[in-house]
């Protein structure tokens, strides 16, 4: 095969650093794994039963592109009650990743700029590249907060989209109401599309979740069942926003994903009615556990939501620190996977308590190892 077959855009898309860590984990013997970006609990039994029943009932052909009517009606009713917008429509997607791809490919022309907040979820950069756009990074260091002046300074006449994520991956930061209001106003003022990735909204530990759609009725909201219901492999997401944008996204879905997996949509009906607040309480407890274990040896910012901490390394670069962690049988993700700088690492506390405690013990040991070296 000739290299000339490969599209030039592919040279701008790197293999995921997270996938590299997953591949490494497969070759390690019983690693202490704090790298996984998904819930550690299994898909609820009621959801699995509903999925199996849908398959047995023959719900295996294509659904309508927008999704099955019973699920659409429930979600549309929720959206209408929550936002009370006169022009906000919803449709089902193949996971939130599918929704992100559809949104960016619908909105971005070659050369357009997309503002993302550094650190950012790794997929944002590469999906923007796929759409022909360019990512412009707005730093949120050192405390992972959004600053109006930094956003304004990054806007140019090529800025087409602001991509926002709260609670955030990798930082676990939950944006305050004031931050969200400011961002919504900036997007409105400059006539920039605002995409809000809300896949972790069920995991807020210290306060309420705030969506920019509350303050800007043109916000495009992306959400799904993957994290809240541990349905990552079942690929069920949804998106809602102004009808003109949604219609174009659905048109693109017809010629790409076709529809969200049909039997999974029926399982989504069951999932939507479930009360999983116990899982939220358990993750809050796990967050408190890992923070109590690490607070004396690491500078901790964020962590108010999702199930991640993005920690500054006590010595060396993020890559150097993670390399040493892996030598000690601990799997974590180097911060440069999510950022323009290599000063942090991400850990996930979506794990059993025993694994969290083992990981914390290794991290404390590594932190002290660095201080001893300095001495």
Residues 23-67 have pLDDT tens digits of 666 677 889 999 988 999 999 999 999 999 999 999 999 999 999
Q: Which residues contact 15 (CB under 8 A, 6 or more apart)?
A: none
- Cα distances from 64 to residues 68, 90, 184, 231, 250, in angstroms, run 6, 13, 32, 21, 10
Instruction: Kindly give the pairing relationship between strand 344-348 and strand 333-334.
Output: antiparallel
Calpha distance 51→264 (Å, rounded): 6
Q: Is 174's pLDDT higher than 60? A: yes
Percent of the chain with pLDDT over 70: 95
Q: Is 13's pLDDT higher than 80? A: no
For residues 27 and 16, the model is more confident at 27
Average model confidence (pLDDT) for the chain?
Answer: 94
What's CA 324's distance to the chain center, in Å? 27
What letter does residue 116 receive in the DSSP assignment? E
Q: Is 370's pLDDT higher than 80? A: no
Calpha distance 41→183 (Å, rounded): 34
pLDDT in the model for residue 22: 63
What domains sit in the chain, N to C, each tagged with a CATH number? Answer: 3-43+276-374 (3.90.1150.10), 61-272 (3.40.640.10)
Q: What is the pLDDT of residues 190-241, one digit of tens each?
A: 999 999 999 999 999 999 999 999 999 999 999 999 999 999 999 999 999 9
Contact predicate 31/359, CB 8 Å = no
Calpha distance 352→355 (Å, rounded): 5
pLDDT in the model for residue 29: 81
Q: Which residues contact 73 (CB under 8 A, 6 or more apart)?
A: none
pLDDT in the model for residue 7: 86
Q: What is the pLDDT of residues 139-173, one digit of tens each?
A: 999 999 999 999 999 999 999 999 999 999 999 99
Calpha distance 268→225 (Å, rounded): 8
- Cα distances from 334 to residues 137, 260, 353, in angstroms, run 18, 32, 22
Listed residue (102, 127, 130, 105) closest to 116, CA to CA: 127
pLDDT in the model for residue 206: 95
Q: Is 1's pLDDT higher than 70? A: no
- Cα distances from 13 to residues 108, 131, 215, in angstroms, run 17, 12, 34
N- to C-terminal Cα separation, the chain: 55
Calpha distance 343→144 (Å, rounded): 14
Q: Which residues contact 143 (CB under 8 A, 6 or more apart)?
A: 301, 302
Calpha distance 210→165 (Å, rounded): 11
Contact predicate 337/118, CB 8 Å = no
Q: pTM here?
A: 0.94
pLDDT category, 375, cuts 50, 70, 90? very low
Contact predicate 325/333, CB 8 Å = no
Q: What is the pLDDT of residues 270-313, one digit of tens each?
A: 999 999 999 999 999 999 999 999 999 999 999 999 999 999 99
Q: What is the pLDDT of residues 355-368, one digit of tens each?
A: 999 999 999 999 99
């Amino acid at each position: 095969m000739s290299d000339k077959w490969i599209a030039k855009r592919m040279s701008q898309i790197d293999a995921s650093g997270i996938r590299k860590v997953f591949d490494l984990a497969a070759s390690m013997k019983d690693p202490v794994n704090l790298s996984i970006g998904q819930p550690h609990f299994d898909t609820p039994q009621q959801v699995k039963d509903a999925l199996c029943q849908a398959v047995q009932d023959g719900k295996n052909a294509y659904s309508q592109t927008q999704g099955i009517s019973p699920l659409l009606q429930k979600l549309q009713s929720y959206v209408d009650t929550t936002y009370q917008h006169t022009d906000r429509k919803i449709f089902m997607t193949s996971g939130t990743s599918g929704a992100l791809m559809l949104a960016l490919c619908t909105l971005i022309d070659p050369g357009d700029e997309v503002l993302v907040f550094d650190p950012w979820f790794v997929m944002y950069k590469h999906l923007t590249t796929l759409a022909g756009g360019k990512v412009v990074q707005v730093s949120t260091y050192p405390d992972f907060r959004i600053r109006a002046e930094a956003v304004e300074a990054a806007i140019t006449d090529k800025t087409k989209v602001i991509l926002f994520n709260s609670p955030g991956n990798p930082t676990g930061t939950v944006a305050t109401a004031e931050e969200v209001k400011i961002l919504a106003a900036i997007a409105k003022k400059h006539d920039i599309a605002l995409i809000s990735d809300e896949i972790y909204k069920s995991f807020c530990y210290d306060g309420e979740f705030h969506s920019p759609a509350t303050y800007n009725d043109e916000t495009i909201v992306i959400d799904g069942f993957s994290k809240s219901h541990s349905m990552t492999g079942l690929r069920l997401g949804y998106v809602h926003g102004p009808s003109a944008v949604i219609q174009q996204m659905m048109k693109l879905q017809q010629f790409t994903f076709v529809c969200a997996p049909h039997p999974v949509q029926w399982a989504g009906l069951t999932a939507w009615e479930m009360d999983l607040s116990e899982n939220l309480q358990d993750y809050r407890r796990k967050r408190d556990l890992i923070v109590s274990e690490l607070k004396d040896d690491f500078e901790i910012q964020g962590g108010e939501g999702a199930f991640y901490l993005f920690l500054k390394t006590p010595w060396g670069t993020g890559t150097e620190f993670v390399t040493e962690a892996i030598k000690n049988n601990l799997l974590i993700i180097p911060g440069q996977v999510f950022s323009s700088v290599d000063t942090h690492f991400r850990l996930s506390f979506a794990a059993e308590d025993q694994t969290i405690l083992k990981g914390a013990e290794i991290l404390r040991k590594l932190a002290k190892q660095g201080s001893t070296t300095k001495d």
